[in-house]
Structure 1
Amino acid sequence: MATMVLTAVGRALGGPIGGAIGALVGNAFDHAVLFRPKGREGRRLAELQVQTSTYGTQVPKIFGTMRVAGTVIWATDLKETRKKESAGKGRGRVTTYSYSASFAVALSARPIRAIRRIWADGNLLRGAAGDFKTELSAFRVHHGGEGQAADPLISSAVGAGQAPAHRGIAYVLFEDLALADYGNRIPSLTFEVEADAGPVPMEQVAREASGGLLGGSGLGLVAGYAAGGPDVREALMPMIEARGLALAGGEAGLRLVAAAEAADGEIGAGGLLARVNGRGVDPQQRSGGAADGVPVALSLRHYDAARDYQTGVQRVVRAGAGRQEQGIDLPEAMSADAARALAAARLHAAWSGRARMELRCGWEALAQEPGEIVTVAGVPGLWRIEEREWEAMAVRLSLRRVPGAGGAMPPGASGGAIVRQVDAPHGATSLMLADLPPLREGVASAPLIVAAASGGAGWRSAALFVMGASGEAVPAGRSAGRAVMGVTDAALAPGSVTLVDRRAVLDVTLLAEDIALSPADEAMLGQGRNLCLVGRELIQFESAVRTGTRQWRLTGLRRGLRGTEWACGAHEAGEPFLPVEEERLADPLGFAGQSVEPGAALRVAALGLGDVEPVEAVMTVAGEALIPPAPVHLTARAESGGVALRWVRRSRAGWRWSSGSDVPLAEEAERYAVRLMDGARLVRAAETAVPAWTYDTAAIAADGSAGAALTVEVAQIGTHATGRAARIAITV
């Protein structure tokens, strides 16, 4: 009777699961028979693999919230954009190419509610707020409803009326996604799909995955599950195996039942038969499997939502004999604690399930359904009925021991660490221009103008443009990495440029809370670490201490570096603060193939993903890289009735100590301008080709300056500009 019922159910289901049920021998209901794996190939967590475009690839049904890769279902050829740009003065023009792509990715074979974060090559492409970190023309989500229309871009490409709507399939479409950040190729994408508003009952998963042919109730919830594979068995087997679910049958059809902690019924002593057809039989036969047949360790692989849905593994070990280990691949989102508890429960169930029992019962045992949990008179523990068969005028029941009610695994499982990108909107761009003296060895032939751009925690980069006098915008490439920048809280007091300034304190407020400054020792400072532009003075700092969320105090200052000692006394509160890190600075003029002369106005604009309109920075170019630094060690000595002046030349071609030898000249010729000033009145101007000049008695007499107190200014005359002057007071 029971066999006939099961065969009918099997025919009703059809397909792989129906064939398995229809072929059951002995009416076995346990999932180890019904859902026996094919061959020895284990299941794999495939939802985080790269998206594919293989013909016939099965799209999983997503429940709850999961991270999936999806399947490419449509794509255009890469779109190439060609641009000719100057490589700099005297270097000709360079042709550059950029690429974008438009494509659609199928994500779920059931409707979804929303797409949250998207990762490209493991890096965040779209934040939870819906902001993209890379440029694209459009992004559309098709939620998988039965009434959804074809995507307009696909329709325009293949023709109106020819484009499939992919009804019942949830997919997304990227339109002109910029590929520069990914090596000019389509990156591997994974998506955080929100298919349901919250956790989903497991019986709903079973019902939808089986087309309504499997039921159940009270099985618990799943936060996220990917029901995939070529058939129903593959879709549901991971969930059934991990939860220890069993299959039960009845007039209403097949249903999944949870591992019970209490019995559904009891088989009393009166229900057992000692004789069948006048022949004595053993009403109860018990057997037990070997201990080493149970895995000594069990590992459960799952998706950990706390780790951006990366794969997590929880492993539990039992004491006693045995060598084999077993693993379960569960395409479900759960915490590390929940995964560890599941693994422990399955290992406990395997240990308990070694005990088996066969009973010979009377006709009343036909009321016992396979899958039920019962107690047996005189036998401890809970037992599940696996088979029920009418045999020789008696009912034979095959039972397996199941774990009883017990304590849960203690919490505290670790899912492991993860390096997570900051998920914050791109935000507005802050732009700063700086006119710098030479930073490297060598002679500059043009002003060194750099652009630094930055923003909040989610800011990445911005496109730069050099603005012409009539308002035209010339593309100048992209900004470099996110720069550290801020403003000074108070005016930096004047300080020594020959000694480490340990009296002055520099308080600054940085642009964002997540930006930090670091201290540096003498060796690091010697390599150029912690070089900063404060106003127009270059300094270095030894110590950096956070004093607020964005506030820092800098001490141990090296002042007036790279010939900027002239700016030590010209500070004010609120002036720009910019650490000079070459990898975070861009050269907009060089990229645009333009040059600028000292004294000219320069206007640069930046436009990032989070900017409603371009942000601009304007400066008057001084050409600091072209200006010779002021001479040093200027001395005056009375000599033959006059005053002899001596000094030491410095060079803009290098800043390191050269062991007593002269520094490189870096100019076409060595020349100095000497000026004698009486207050604001020019007394005498002279020029010399050596680092010395004498104010002799004849000149003193001609100037009528005997006994006067004068100021001497000495400046080097460079190829492109006259440098700033060194000064000394003399009495003639």
Structure 2
Amino acid sequence: MATLVLSAAGTIFGGPIGGAIGALIGRQIDASIVGGRKIEGPRLKELAVQTSSYGSALPMHFGTVRASGTVIWATELIEHKEKSGGGKGRPSVTNYSYTVSFAVAVASRPIAGIGRIWADGNLLRGDAGDLKVGGTLRIHSGHGDQAADPLLAQAEGADKSPAYRNVAYVVFEDLELADYGNRLPSLTLEIIADDGSISLAAVVSSLLPGAATGNLTQSTLSGFSVDQGAAADVLATLSDITPLTCSVVDEQLSFGLAEIFVDEALLELPVPTAGGETAEDARADGWSRRRDALPGARQCAVRYYDIARDYQPGLQRSLGRSGPGDVTMIELPAAMAAGEARELANKAAQRFTLARDTMRYRIAEIDQRFGPGAIVRTPITEGVWRIDQWEWQSDGVMLDLSAVQASLPATPVTDAGRSNHAADLLTTPTRITAFELPWDGQGDGASPMLRVAATAQTAGWTGAALYTERADASTISLGSTGRRRAIAGVAISALPGASPLLVDTVGEVEIELASSDFSLDNATWAQLVQGANMAVLGDELIQFARADFIGGSAWRLSGLLRGRGGTEHATAGHIAGEGFALIDDSLIALDVTLVSDVKTSTIVAIGLGDATPATSPIGNPGLTLRPLAPVHGRASRGSDGALTLEWVRRSRGSWTWLDEVDVPLNESAELWEVTFGATDTPARYWQLTEPRLTIPAVTAAELAALGSGLTFTVRQVGRQSRSLPLRIAMPA
């Protein structure tokens, strides 16, 4: 008599698999051994932190999963310092930052690549492969011919650095740690072990090379991890996904799915025959049937890694009746969608919560088609049956059959639950516009007000380091921009010229903002008087009452106040492509003591997404300290032929007329410079301490004789510069 016992081990090993493996390796499996064995197969866990313990096992990953790794090499923290400030009595500031280089092993079989990476739960590497902080990432796929990483080879020596062949690992070089408390963060990685989903056949073949996998290719998983347990333990876990069958044919293991497929042609057993070696088997009809009592479990639940929730553990329960009884929990270290998990829970409920229906069935001939795992019909009963085991007897073959449940209807739509995903925004290049603003009336007004509008296309921009590049090509650090983006862009149309003395209700300009998520607001006239919607456009400061969205990131500005802050000289000459920046608290104030020459210096920004530095000259150089040009100039001739020039002064920083008296001078002394003739080579020159000049008749006649078309030029002389000119024509 030859006997192949499968069902005894199946109670623990997840069906007939364990018994088949035991028979293959020649172990004697009996009740005492099976009853005392403790299985530790792969299990679902919370997303664990990475380890660096010597001897830690490396998992095998299939499909796409999220898992931590094991640190296998690391440097000490490297300190970097950068000094800024310290000019003209100002204290210097030294900023310290830290980086580290390290390697993390992620899998014990080759992988196709690495997707996203999380550090302390925050996104470190996006879906596009971009790092959210400074540093370099290299991925080693774990094939048998991979070379040693160049950084490890340099640090350890080319002849001592291991290549870690057949181990997939990643190397971070000079990873910036400021966002992680200047310590090595705990990483979890989206490991793309295989392109696309993985079949159970591929998993079984990796565990048991040479085994036949049959129709296991028809069952696939998005991801699966094996981190502990022997092959039998892993196969038992896979049987929780779908029941597996196993048989030994010509000393080769053969696996299959214990499921019914729509297109599968089922075998039919021959008519049972009487006989047998025991009184129980020697029945005249050759078969017996038994239905067990209902089990204690009422429902099944599956815990899994939910793809829709960034692989966080999820749980789906089966359909079932409420009432007393346990919930059978299946811990499944597989990545899948909520609907897939719900379907598995429902199928498991069929197996675990319904009464077990078995049959002993005797046939008179040996037929390899009717081996363990075969799905068959019988001529004496309805339904479909699976052969769990067979026993060759002296005059026939005794089969143990179990009923295969009918397919369930389609699972109702289920929900994975709400998840707050880490924003995955690309780090886009930096765009800057540097300019000088007029004095706002605060402080002594003796220092230039230098501002930088730093921005980028997306909110994934993490800021940039600022430098000033001097005429001699030397650079000095100006600090950093921070992560807040300024609302800035460029003009896509040319703003027509207009008078700064009137509201420009006709002119309008179209602006392309740097990002489509920027917006501009309308303002009332009362708000404009309070300084709302102030912006720099080229060299002119404007205010706008209306901002109309055109589409994309384009806006149309109208209802304009022109030449604000003493920039009336720039109301003409606008061109498409000139810079635009909204003046608000998102602008970065520069330390003027570090910028040696505003006119010749260039502002440079270098951020994480910048292949080349962003640069900008300083617009409107000298605007803060330059006195305002006088206005209302007039020339009159007296009865005696004498010439009188008069004008009205304006004052820096005095933008509102609050008390109806003369505005303060805001200069060290009142001083005027008046010339007549060509700008470069004037014929006459005067210096005055009041806004009035009287020219005697004789001198006036001499000036008139110099030629027609010549004008007087009036400038206010401030503490550090002269104003733009006011021109007064010679009266007739």
Q: Same fold (TM over 0.5)?
A: yes
Tell me the distance in 1 between the aligned counterparts of 2:48 and 2:204. 24
SS in structure 2 at match of 1:167: coil
Shift of 1:22: 3.5
Q: Which residue of 2 aligns with 1:585?
A: 588
Alignment partner for residue 503 of structure 1, among 501, 506, 518? 506
Query: Which residue among 456, 465, 468 is the counterpart of 1:466?
Result: 468
The answer for the alignment partner of 2:13 in structure 1 is none
**1:108: Cα distance to partner?**
1.1
Structure 1 equivalent of residue 51 of structure 2: 52
Structure 2 matches for 1:336-485, cutoff 5 A?
Answer: 336-347=338-349, 349-350=351-352, 353-362=353-362, 369-375=371-377, 380-384=382-386, 401-409=403-411, 421=423, 426=428, 430-438=431-439, 441-454=442-455, 460-481=462-483, 482-485=485-488
Query: How far off its partner does 1:286 sit?
Result: 1.7
Asked if the contact 1:312–1:415 (Cα under 8 Å) also holds between the matched residues in 2, the reply is no
Asked if residue 322 in structure 1 is aligned to residue 323 in structure 2, the reply is yes
Deviation at residue 150 of structure 1 after TM alignment: 3.6
Correspondent of 1:294 among 295, 298, 312? 298
Alignment correspondent of 1:594: 594
Counterparts in 2 of 1:271 and 1:565: CA distance versus 1, 3 Å: farther
CA distance in 1, matches of 2:344, 2:699: 101
Asked whether the 8 Å contact 2:491–2:511 carries over to 1, the reply is yes
Aligned to 2:96: 97
Residue type matched to 1:446 in 2? S
Residue 538 (str. 1) matches residue 541 (str. 2): yes
CA distance in 2, matches of 1:529, 1:312: 50
* Matched-pair contact (CA < 8 Å) for 1:45–1:331: yes
Whichever residue aligns with residue 288 of structure 2, its letter is P
**Residues of 2 paired with 1:500 and 1:96: CA distance?**
48
Residue 99 of structure 1: CA displacement? 1.7
Q: Deviations over 1:645-695 (max 9, x none)?
A: 89796552x76x686488995946463648698999999967558xxx678
Q: 1:205: how far off?
A: 0.8
Whether the aligned pair in 2 keeps the contact of 1:227 and 1:236 (CA below 8 Å) is no
Number of the residue aligned with 1:76:
75
Q: Judging changes above 3 Å, is the alpha-carbon distance between structure 1 residues 69 and 267 closer, same or farther for their aligned structure 2 residues?
A: same
Match of 1:115 in 2: 114
Per-residue deviation, 1:519: 2.4
Shift of 1:411: 6.4
Rate the CA distance shift 1:439–1:577 in 2: closer, same or farther, 3 A.
Answer: same
Counterpart CA distance in 2 for 1:153 and 1:276 is: 73
Contact 1:145–1:168 at 8 Å: present in 2 too? yes
| Residues 408-417 or 622-631, more deviating | 408-417
Where does residue 567 of structure 1 map in the other structure?
A: 570
Q: Structure 2: how far apart are the matches of 1:49 and 1:602? A: 51
Contact 1:250–1:369 (8 Å) recurs in 2: no
SS in 2 for 1:22: coil
Bigger mean CA offset, 199-208 vs 181-190:
181-190
Counterpart in 1 of 2:492?
Answer: 489
Cα deviation, residue 101, structure 1: 1.0
Distance 1:336 1:9, change over 3 A: closer
Q: Deviations over 1:344-363 (max 9, x none)?
A: 4444555xx51212434436
CA separation in 2, counterparts of 1:579 and 1:299?
54
Measured after TM superposition, the shift of residue 421 of structure 1 is 4.7
In structure 2, what residue type is equivalent to 1:433? Answer: A
SS at match of 1:111: coil
Query: Which residue type is aligned with residue 142 of structure 1?
Result: H
Give the paired residue count. Answer: 699
* Contact 1:480–1:584 (Cα < 8 Å) also in 2: no
Tell me how far 1:11 sits from its aligned partner. 9.4
Instruction: Return the alpha-carbon distance in structure 2 between the equivalents of residues 498 and 572 of structure 1.
Output: 22
Deviation per CA, 1:603-656, whole angstroms, max 9, x where unpaired?
234445565654543347622222355689999999xx999989796552x76x
- Tell me, what secondary structure is at the counterpart of 2:183? coil
CA separation of 1:230 and 1:509: change in aligned 2, threshold 3 A = same
Determine if the alignment matches structure 1 residue 221 to structure 2 residue 220: yes
Aligned-partner Cα distance in 2 for 1:18–1:445: 91
**CA distance change for structure 1 residues 50 and 650 in 2, over 3 Å: closer, same or farther?**
farther
Q: 1:326 to 1:520 in 2, by over 3 A?
A: farther
Say if 2:311 is the partner of 1:276: no
Matches within 5 A, 1:663-674: 667=666, 669=668, 671=670, 673=672
State the Cα distance separating 1:77 from its structure 2 match. Answer: 0.5
The worse-fitting range, judged by mean Cα deviation, of 662-671 and 51-60 is 662-671
**Which residue matches 2:558?**
555
Q: CA 1:150–1:573 in structure 2 vs 1: closer, same or farther (change >3 Å)? A: closer
Q: Which amino acid aligns with 2:556?
A: R
Aligned partner letter, 1:246: L
How is 1:4-15 mapped onto 2 (pairs within 5 angstroms)?
none
Cα 1:26–1:78 shift into 2, 3 Å: closer
TM-fit CA distance, 1:191:
3.4
> Is 1:145 equivalent to 2:143 in the alignment?
yes
Query: Is contact 2:541–2:565 with CA below 8 Å preserved after alignment?
Result: yes
Q: In the aligned structure 1, how far is the partner of 2:662 from the partner of 2:205?
A: 84
Partner of 1:285: 290
Q: Which residue of 2 aligns with 1:178?
A: 176
C-alpha distance in 2, partners of 1:525/1:50? 55
1:433/1:618 contact within 8 Å kept: yes
User: How far did residue 62 of structure 1 move?
Assistant: 2.0
- Give yes or no for the alignment of 1:22 onto 2:29: yes
Aligned equivalents of 1:284, 1:666: Cα separation in 2: 111
Label 1:628 to 1:154 Cα distance change in 2 as closer, same or farther (>3 A): same
Structure-2 residue corresponding to 1:61: 60
State how far apart, in whole Å, the 1-side matches of 2:382 and 2:530 are: 77
Deviations 1:212-238 (A, max 9, x none): 668453342333333223544665555
Change (3 A) 1:668 1:222: same
* AA of the residue aligned to 2:223: G
Given that residues 40 and 229 in structure 2 are in contact (C-alpha distance below 8 angstroms), is that contact kept between their aligned partners in structure 1?
no
**Alignment partner of 1:516 out of 515, 518, 540:** 518
Instruction: Structure 2: state its 5+ residue gaps.
Output: 10-15, 705-709
Amino acid at match of 1:473: T
Distance 1:729 1:586 in 2: 41
Contact kept in structure 2, 1:597 and 1:621, CA below 8 Å? no
- The question of whether the paired residues in 2 share the 8 Å contact of 1:116 and 1:193 is answered with yes
Would the alpha carbon gap of residues 14 and 356 (structure 1) be closer, same or farther in structure 2, given more than 3 Å must change? Answer: closer
Q: Aligned Cα RMSD in Å?
A: 5.4
Per the alignment, in what secondary structure is the counterpart of residue 253 of structure 1?
strand
Q: Deviations over 1:503-556 (max 9, x none)?
A: 3211123456x4533324559878876542101222344544443545332234
Structure 2 CA distance for aligned equivalents of residues 280 and 541 of structure 1: 102
SS of the residue aligned with 2:507? Answer: coil
Q: Which amino acid aligns with 1:22?
A: I
Deviation of 1:107 after TM superposition, in Å, equals 1.2
Paired residue for 1:3? 5
Q: Which residue of 1 is the match for residue 242 of structure 2?
A: 244
C-alpha deviation, 1:78, in angstroms: 0.8
With structure 2 as the length reference, what TM-score do the two structures score? Answer: 0.76
What residue identity is the alignment partner of 2:433? M
Q: What are the ranges of 5 or more consecutive residues in structure 1 without an aligned counterpart? A: none
| Alpha-carbon spacing, 1:364–1:451, altered in 2? closer, same or farther (3 Å) | farther
Are the counterparts in 1 of residues 274 and 283 from structure 2 also a CA contact under 8 Å?
no
